[in-house]
Amino acid sequence: MRIAVLIELKSSEKPEHVKKDAKVALKQIEERNYQNIESLQGVCIVREYGIACYHLKSHVEGRYLELDAQRCWVEKADLGTPSR
């Protein structure tokens, strides 16, 4: 079982923007097709993180996806690292 981690980083202009910018970063992973199945061959689990920072303040938004039988990414609850 192969796992991939996709990360998009943002630099916020104001400290009150870090939460919004982290959500924007997470959305960009999907919009820019980083989760393309062809480039992630053999991967069946993807963890995605949108991270925004303003100096020492930061915020992280995350998502856990599994590949289903139709080869589509399905968001699921993250129950930790799978056992081997």
Per the structure, how many domains does the chain have?
1
* pTM confidence score: 0.86
- Supply the pLDDT for residue 81: 59
**What mean pLDDT is predicted for residues 19-44?**
93
- Supply the pLDDT for residue 26: 96
DSSP state letter for 42: T
| 36 lies in some domain | yes
Identify the H or E element spanning 63: strand 57-67
SS3 label, residue 20: helix
| 50 lies in some domain | yes
| 38 lies in some domain | yes
| 39 lies in some domain | yes
Domain range enclosing 62: 2-76
Q: What burial class does residue 8 get, using C-beta atoms within 10 Å of its C-beta: 0-12 exposed, 13-18 middle, 19+ buried?
A: buried
**What mean pLDDT is predicted for residues 10-14?**
97
- Supply the pLDDT for residue 79: 74
